[in-house]
Amino acid sequence: MVVRAPEMAELKVSLTKPSLSSDGVSVWEWSGSALDEGDEAAKWFTEFLGKPSRLVRFNEESETRPVDAKYATGYNVKFTDAFQFLLISQASLDAINEQLKEPVSINRFRPNIFVDGCEPFAEDLWKQIKINETYFQGVMLCPRCKVPTINQEDATQGSEPTETMMKFRSAKALEVNTSTSQYKGRVYLGQMLVWENTDNGSNKVINVGDAVHVEKVLPSYADVAV
């Protein structure tokens, strides 16, 4: 793996499993140990970020991090935020940008599955999709934090697009049920997904340009989990 950053030499990190480990690693509610990529990587990130840092890798042999059982059971993640995948459509991004004085890039919202060819926000109601014979289950709308308000190129922060999205992407605007949600007061964009791992991930690959087949759709926003 090669890591690049402005005014920094390239950092090359071997994909071979490291022998070192670090304790006290945490992501939200989870804490444990992780594989440590060594002092060279630590020095690189410490210099660039301006604070003591170490690059670590999730250790699947000794650690597990289950997703929130309120939304899905039997699924694990590594160092991702909450679930394995986040899907957003180009049409949804376009609809948001039409409301903004200055359009924003999709990198503000950080999906790892970005689709095109559907109506704006159609993905809100997708309960099951299939891509290249791989099935994904929609589990909840993604409550957005402050990251979308941060320019990913220069790290400056503003109030948009969240301020504008509050008018049409809040729980009240969408008329979703937040009675049991810990994410009240947020705006929502994107569908969180888990995938049906029926053969331990063997030969499961999705590619740019693959067709997306929507297999199940929820009846209304009243049925959407947040």
CA 198 to chain centre: 22
Q: Is residue 183 part of a domain?
A: yes
Whether residue 175 lies inside any domain: the answer is yes
- Considering the domain architecture, whether residues 25 and 132 belong to the same structural domain is answered as no
Please check whether residue 81 is in contact with residue 67, taking contact to mean a CB–CB distance below 8 angstroms. Answer: no
Whether residues 198 and 93 fall in one domain = yes
What residues make up the domain containing 100? Answer: 85-223
The pTM assigned to this predicted structure is: 0.91
What average pLDDT does range 103-126 have in this prediction? 98
- Report the alpha-carbon distance of residue 31 to residue 121 in Å, rounded: 34
114 and 199 inside one domain: yes
Predicted confidence (pLDDT) at residue 179 exceeds the cutoff of 90: no
Q: 52 and 90 in one domain? A: no
Closest CA to 117 of 153, 89, 152: 89
Contacts of 172 (CB under 8 A, 6+ apart): none
Q: 64 in a domain, yes or no? A: no
Question: By percentage, how much of the chain surpasses pLDDT 70?
Answer: 97
Residue 196: the pLDDT is 84
Q: Does residue 75 lie in a domain region?
A: no
**pLDDT over 70 (residue 198):** no
Residue 160 has pLDDT above 80, yes or no: yes
- Domain check: are 126 and 182 in the same one? yes
Q: What band does 66 get if pLDDT is binned at 50, 70 and 90? A: very high
CATH (domain of 116): 2.40.33
Structural domain count of the chain: 2
Confidence of residue 182 (pLDDT cuts 50, 70, 90): confident
Question: Tens digit of pLDDT for each residue in 127-142?
Answer: 999 999 999 999 999 9
